[in-house]
Chain A
């Protein structure tokens, strides 16, 4: 009994921490619809800033509380700055572009934090009152954790009062429901959004500082916390504070008891919970169905056959690509090979995200399944490379269909997060099924046979397969199937009324997308000679997302342009500077501001405007 009690209290403390982490994110999303990828970075700044501030203050409870608030205010100021300087300029860009901008912020803040605070983990020395414990049934429970258990609900109460009992809160809720109407009534949206963003940043900053008695400030916090934050927000229902609180409780408690029953399950547990919740409740625990966002007509203009100039350009690039091995050395060829694979990977995501309207945060799942299937085929079954590539493509496509059956019922960020949950579960399997996959040590020796082993031969093989696959995807999206897919995206009811089966169309798109990503993964396996769980990591999925958004989601050439730019930039920066994250982040931010429709999207719009003029 005693164990259950202690584990429950511990779970409640974890839940409180999770809620503090997620509350700010859900507030920001609820009002501004910004998927704030930099929330974890603000949380990390809270931990580091809190370390600096709390180290300088007297070690009494009152000063501790003051230090937490001060840290929150400092991070709120930074959050406000990010909103005013960056996000405010791109609210009218297509959905998810803000995600790209905040990803740039993540990269910049990683390097800035390293520069300011150095590489070592910083831990706050605990005064005796922070080391105290209560003895409950013979077991000790840290007093600070009991305090945390109370802080979560207290913050929930304060936020609830703020949103329901103040004029500001009323306006914010109104803006959440209908931005245009609130603007029409003369309320400055700018100010409202900035204050909401600052509030979210305050919560992140204070939450980060509140971890200091239990944990160090370290450079991994941003990425480990952002995923937890998203999980809580989505399980709770986007924008729902009560939901986020419930989700925190659910996850905190299940985690505390989960490791008692099944200690090995730590890698996938939260994602399994998220997957189950989303399958049972497609809008999270307390979320409402997302209101249809009024779309600008232009952003969803039909994708037709390429214009002549684009065709000629594409043909020229293709010719140059074919003769490239005659002109460049093996290293550049390996970079070009990577770019080609990245283009296919991005195109695979674009197929579901653009015409299909299904954003995915877990595209790396298909990529990784393709890579592992190819590795199994050639290593365990001793099949030739062709069979390996085919196995990768088919395995990914097949599993995409099976998982897709659950995915197609969801939409928007919920769908994206369910794909993430699935990808994380696949990742955990790759990580933990050591006998089968080699765990994180991976599968080695997946090199191509002699005829394809030279950089040039493998490059040509990759070029042929990637170009064919991309053209095939493109072609399929211009068949009646592709148009049906888009119709179902733009107007579900009208599409259903003319007899289109939306879910079935989306399922087919998922299968295609999965197969294409699987081919990209299989090619990567042979090009790198080895397969690791990192192929399925969240970072890999984010890469795909970044490439599609950077290029422009509403054009067919967008993902290709995005893949070339992103891969080229990353590869080049890694060679020339230690501060590649800072530079890459700044470049992404500049590109987002300069090309709010993505590079290809903005160029296309400008050229069309030019023609009209």
Chain B
């Protein structure tokens, strides 16, 4: 079958290339029908054969839909890319990121993944913020035998229930965030708990794991009420009143962003938090803490990033470089962006190649430096061991900060290997 091709590169009737994404298996008899597709899919091999051409990372994220997280995240990965390249790149090649905005929709992310793989000839895919986009890309990666390295998506399904050979994920998952908080939560020795969480998968699994893990540590704990505000549309006054009515000893909060601001303001005015322990996931991240401003409650147990007070050299070096370039303090997104690039580079280095199958195996157990210190890719479930900080919120000079914090390694917040194997069928 003849064809007109947009680019002159590549053999017109090639079968699957020895390296690079292999098209999923049509039988040989149909090959002629699919010659176009195969020919184009084979092209990455040609690009890659050019020795010192940059390694291309196709990056997709919700830049316009979630700018408060993704813009600092973009700064983070840009900084890391420049640092990696200044240090000579990896495998003797520079790295290059081709970035796309998915507009917050999985269906668009899938199309863009195709564009990046087929047109831009990227060597691997990376990125995502929303869990459903992370899962869509992970399934696309499995179907098309391409590597996908997720940065932010928190859903446990990404590495466990729906985990697959071609997907790695950097950030501590919902399970890990909950597990990190449970120890301090148990110390509150509170009997009656209430929960408030956004009404979608992230909120649901955070509440589920927290309940389960806390009950293991503190068998007499009782969860007496739940509130499930719609994401971005919390009716804060009514929610706070409904929680207060239960006269709880302690509260688990999973809301974040605009919902959190509304919840905290109503809770402060109505005295919901007075004399009660509050455990709150992600609230210590600058993205979510800053908008609370002088309303930041005192003494909430949170996960987050104490960017104003960390002292370890890796973190300080990152903060200094980030401030020098962007003239503002990094946020959690910046750490994820920078960590993602470094984790990918370390994986490529250990794989010794950018061939998908080599990377799918080679990333496992690769160690990397993040702004938070050393971490690695777990072989058993492809989860990164990047951890996070657990501490308490406090108000200093009219701003919210994290105090009494400690860093918890992600590896210490995961269940046993036997349990992980049960959770991850693939």
Q: Which residues of A contact B (CB under 8 A)?
A: 3, 6-7, 10-11, 13-14, 110-111, 114, 119-123, 125-126, 131-133, 139-142, 144-145, 213-216, 218-221, 224, 228, 255-256, 259-260, 263-264, 266-267, 325-331, 334-335, 338, 431-432, 434, 439-442, 444-445, 447, 450-451, 453-457, 524, 528-530, 532, 534-535, 539, 571, 574-575, 578, 580-581
Contacts and interface: CB of A to CB of B under 8 A. Distances in A.
Given A119-B67, A139-B241, A266-B230, A328 B6 contact: yes
A192 B137 CA distance: 52
Give 4 closest A-B pairs by Cβ, nearest first: A119-B67, A121-B291, A256-B238, A10-B237
Given A131-B268, A431-B200, A444-B162, A326 B100 contact: no
Contact of B226 (A110, A216, A228, A263): A263
A122 B291 contact: yes
- From B131, B229, B258, name the one whose CB has the most chain A CB atoms within 10 angstroms: B258
B270 A119 contact: no
B269 A133 contact: yes
Interface stretch (B111-119, B353-361, B382-390, B416-424): B111-119
B261 A14 contact: no
Contacts of A114: 64, 67
Given A7-B238, A140-B269, A574 B3 contact: no
Contacts of B112: 574-575
Contacts of A119: 67-68, 71
B70 to A, nearest CB: 8
Contacts of B1: 326
A578 B295 CA distance: 34
Given A330-B114, A338-B111, A451-B30, A578 B101 contact: yes
A534 to B, nearest CB: 5
Contact of A529 (B41, B100, B139): B139
Contacts of B269: 131-133, 140, 142, 144
A10 B114 contact: no
B111 A10 contact: no
B227 A263 contact: yes
Interface in B217-238: 225-230, 232-233, 235-238
Nearest to A7: B241
Given A434-B201, A456-B33, A574-B103, A266 B229 contact: yes
B324 interface: no
A329 B235 contact: no
B340 to A, nearest CB: 19
Contact of B257 (A121, A325, A445, A454): A121
Given A126-B295, A141-B270, A532-B136, A10 B238 contact: yes
Contacts of B162: 441, 444
Contact of A123 (B100, B228, B293, B398): B293
A578 B63 contact: yes
Nearest to B70: A119
Interface stretch (B21-29, B46-54, B368-376): B21-29
Nearest to A537: B105
Nearest to A221: B258
B40 A259 contact: no
A220 B258 contact: yes
B82 interface: no
B314 interface: no
Contacts of A260: 238, 242, 245
B237 A145 contact: yes
Contacts of A453: 24, 26
Contact of B266 (A142, A228, A524): A142
A139 B41 CA distance: 66
A428 B185 CA distance: 32
B204 A219 contact: no
A450 B230 contact: no
Nearest to A431: B200
Contacts of B271: 133, 140
A55 to B, nearest CB: 11
A435 B67 CA distance: 32
- From A450, A455, A456, A580, name the one whose CB has the most chain B CB atoms within 10 angstroms: A455
A536 to B, nearest CB: 12
Contact of A574 (B108, B204, B230): B108
A432 B200 CA distance: 7
B292 interface: yes
- From A145, A215, A338, name the one whose CB has the most chain B CB atoms within 10 angstroms: A215
B251 to A, nearest CB: 14
